[in-house]
Structure 1
Amino acid sequence: MNDRASLRHALPRAVLGPLTHQPAPLRRSLRRFGNLVGVVSRFDAPAARSRGAFRASIPATLKTNGGAAAAVFQPGDSLTLPPAKAALLTREDGREVLVGIRPQHFSRAGGGPLRNGVVSYSAVADLIQPTGTRTFTTIKIGGVDAVAELQAHDVSSHGERIDLAIDLNRVVLIDPASGLVIA
């Protein structure tokens, strides 16, 4: 019996890959901005850090004014944070943070009004990856690549300018020095 077949029978189904029933990698390298920052084993205890599921960790500076707060990016772009997040950041003016946005918190902005905490953002589609019913599109926010998960036909060509809605109620602000979530 070859090693792969014996390994398949020795590992429980949860450790196997989703479609191929091949073993999922036991060790994985973590990269931040292309640099190796560590290697994680499937059996390591989870840490109180939050970097894993984000396809965009965008460096920004927090600007607060009374009950309002915004994340300001290098080229001058900014995203105004919803009141619930701003209330947690009253003493954080000028603090450097990483803004974590998951791909599923982007959508195509329609013509109607946006709900509270959702902001409109215009970007150019750099890379388009159709996957059937969904399309993963790479855009730039604050000069950093971000991945947006959109409907299959929301973006049709490379270089197309698209209006997105970003749900900032779900955004996570991370302290870059410690890697801990601050809001």
Structure 2
Amino acid sequence: MSFLDIDKATKSYGAVRVLNETDISVEEGEFLVLVGPSGCGKSTLLNMIAGLEGVSSGEIRIRDRRMNDIKPADRNIAMVFQSYALYPNMTVRSNISFGMEMHGVRKAKREEKIAEIAELLQLTPFLDRKPGQLSGGQRQRVAMGRALTRDPDVFLFDEPLSNLDAKLRVDMRTEIKKLHQKLGTTIVYVTHDQIEALTLSTRIAVMFGGEVQQLGTPQEIYDNPTNMFVAGFMGSPAMNLLPATLRDAEGGVAVELALPDSSYISLPFPRGATLSGQDGRAIVLGIRPEAMTDPESADAESPAIHQAELSIDVIEPAGSDTYVTVSLCGKDAIGRFRANTSARAGARFPFSFDMAKAVAFDPETEQRID
């Protein structure tokens, strides 16, 4: 039995089912991120764990205790919201201590806890300020500090960084990760930002259409997406998904990719060994931009680097990398090159494909097939 068990949890509003028989088990101390586009059911699931939404069928258990009929206040969970939900007329000190006051905690104990949390979250200089005098990141830390006073079984974060600008989001991601590493708390965190999911989590549940599409570690999700939705959603830039054709080749299988001039390139596909004997089968080849790079940047230890010269359409310098767009199989495909590449738009240039990192999908079911 896990620390938090979501067992065939379903949520319906009348005839409309928004969450379908979801099964997730979370171990104590884990950082689980629920990620997916708007309307996928991730916030609904979080609210069901919190008790803010009822469970239509199935169970939610914390420490093997059934939560379905337990009031939110009695679940020993703490929630941090997107909107901070701070009292604007109270100081930081009062916002952090408010919950302890409501539960009758002695003043000396409250002050000790406030000092401890303020030091942990670097809020000590701001204890006598009001929320309107703080930056967005500082206000989010106050909201986290208020939650920390509870010493809860589970922390729930509902898109806490979505109101912050890009730099503050990066800074706060680091703060939240440090907090988890220091306290070892169990966290369930909702976001639509796949970079947050990959950088913060110990495991990710990728959701779409009210269902968990894939549950795994960040590396598993990134390297071995279970279907085309996960492949296209996780990663920035996203995985290239290219209509291709399998060809039997000497010693194994190759994939054939169409070029704009109606010619083809053929690339050996070592991960497709189980697909031999299916010459002419249509697949969708998935390959990450970093596995489609300039020869100098290719992984020297990979056993499956293969080169092809392609005509470049667009060059996008991005500081530490350069993104290079070419036309393959009637689609734009993006490669990740080194910053000082000599590649130029309109010119032909050698690309190194790391086919050990490529995956194949069925174009009809959109499921991975290799």
Q: CA RMSD in A?
A: 3.3
> Given the alignment, which residue of 298, 307, 314 partners 1:127?
314
Single out whichever of 4-13 and 63-72 deviates more from structure 2: 4-13
1:91 match: 277
Q: What do the CA deviations read for 1:95-128 (whole angstroms, capped 9, x no partner)?
A: 1101111001022125xxx863111111122122
* Structure index of larger Rg: 2
Gaps of 5+ in 2: 1-81, 87-139, 145-155, 173-189, 194-206, 215-225
Task: Please say which of residues 127-136 and 63-72 is displaced more in the overlay.
Answer: 63-72
What is residue 34 of structure 1 aligned with on the other side? none
For structure 1, the residue ranges without an aligned partner over 5 or more in a row are 27-38
The structure where strand makes up a greater share of residues is 1
Conserved 8 A contact 1:67-1:86: no
- The answer for the alignment partner of 1:19 in structure 2 is 167
TM-score under structure 1 length normalisation: 0.72
Change (3 A) 1:148 1:6: farther
Matches within 5 A, 1:2-41: 4-6=83-85, 9=143, 12=157, 16=161, 19-21=167-169, 25=192, 40=208
Within 5 Å, give how 1:69-84 maps onto structure 2. 69-74=253-258, 75-82=262-269, 84=270
Name 2:213's counterpart in structure 1. 46
- Is 2:345 aligned against 1:158? yes
Asked whether the 8 Å contact 1:67–1:90 carries over to 2, the reply is no
Provide the residue aligned with 2:360 in structure 1: 173
Cα distance in 2 for residues equivalent to 1:13 and 1:90: 46
Q: Is the 8 A contact 1:70 1:78 kept in 2?
A: no
Superimposed CA distance per residue, residues 22-56 of structure 1 (whole angstroms, 9 cap, x where no aligned partner): 99548xxxxxxxxxxxx947x85224424324432
Give yes or no for contact 1:134–1:149 (8 Å, CA) kept in 2. Answer: yes
Count of residues in correspondence between the two structures = 164
Number of the residue aligned with 1:117: 304
Cα distance in 1 for residues equivalent to 2:308 and 2:323: 17
Is the contact between residue 159 and residue 191 of structure 2 (CA under 8 Å) also seen in structure 1?
no
Moved more, 73-82 or 5-14: 5-14
Q: Find the partner of 2:294 among 89, 105, 108.
A: 108
Q: Percent identity?
A: 22
Q: Give how far 1:63 is off.
A: 1.2
2:245 is the alignment partner of 1:61: yes
Among residues 336, 344, 359, which one is paired with 1:149 in the alignment? 336
The structure whose residues are more often helix, as a share, is 2
Q: Aligned to 2:213, what secondary structure does the other structure show?
A: coil
